[in-house]
Chain A
Amino acid sequence: MLGVDNSETLDAAFELRVKWVVCLDNTIRIVPKHIDGVEISHAFLTNGEEVLAAGEAEIVAMGDGDYLGAQITNHSGHYEPPAASLALAVALFANHGIVFDEDAQEPVAGS
């Protein structure tokens, strides 16, 4: 469903809070917020290139390839994306079967 053959890969990726970016080609990339205790910068996901949107999310694996979009924000210290960019990410995640209800969307003031 999500373009990733191995759902265990996604389940593991969503084990804790993640950072995400929407690249210029509308691809979503995600990474755990912390790896070995070190916080990973959004810039790492993109080599510092431009993005359409960036933020953090809590996505919970519900089993059988279903995922709950528990919370999503456009928080990124590196990019400070505008709050409006969150709508694009929400739509793209929904296209992949991860739905963030309105209550789960927490836009923050960006640049």
Chain B
Amino acid sequence: MKSVHKVFISIAMVLAACVSTAILAMQSNDVGQVKLPSIKPGQYVHQAPTLADIQNDKDLHPELRKVILKGRDLFMNTQQLRGKNVFNDMNCKSCHMGEGRMAWSGPVWPAATTLPDYRGKNGHVNSLEERIAGCFSYSMNGTPPEYGSDTMLALVAYHQYMAKGAKLYDRNIGGRGFSSLGTAMPADVSYNQGAVVYALNCAVCHGPNGEGKRVHGEVVFPPLWGDGSYNWGAGMARVFTAASFIKNNMPLGQPGRLTDKEAWDVAYFINAQERPQDPRYTGDAKETREKYLNFHKATLYGTEINGKLLGQHDNTGEKPFLKPDVLKPRTFAEGVVPEM
């Protein structure tokens, strides 16, 4: 069965090679229209400030402006932390597109207005720093900047400024995160059809093998699987997260181009490929899946696809360790002294 997987990758390559001719037959006529979900009645929306707002806000102390701009710079070019905190080809903006300001693109301001809050992923109350640390540990396949460090302060400052004027603790937010297609994967989701969607719509940028593209070492299109991509513990490894991201953001500039079914299929195909190990790995992918099933019930990790048990390997990519020290539980239960 392993060869079946290879066959589809080869097909994807063949298709990618002829994509420029084949797409002529499938040209979209309402091209240029941005088709995004509508905001539901009662949902809170907030217009995040722009770069010009940061530059021109007279209320900001010049030192604070510098810190916020540094945070923005780190957000847009997180690769400057490569080898220190980041061990793959991702930047914050790879998933939080449009400077982390856009609805349906994982806008970052809700993190500043709703945290500290309980997170199901790690089962305790998380601060904004801890939330950012999660991205570094999983999506960046790395280890977070120290809590309280200059780098962390700058990132937090950017997040918080993006929330300027927004309502605190309102959790019914329109366009938050990536879940517009719901969390239930359709029963008829198809790896093979996902491979076709990939070849026709994604491979031109992300490469026939999901490897992304670089110019003079600089990442232009991020890898979608393999060592350069997010690890098995990243939110984007959940099929529903990737499906909603793709539906509302991809191909670049064309939200809503793909049908819901196409988005689910291609998200399934992408997340059925191998990637660096989940930092919470116990040595057994099936066991790790069961242990963190509240997360992994939405991923294909620890399941068999095309005869291969996904995630059963010791590959941590470029990262020379498995688990950052910072990932640890926290409790305020009575009789338990919280960790300092």
A binds B: no
Query: Which residues of chain A have a CB within 8 Å of any CB of chain B?
Result: none
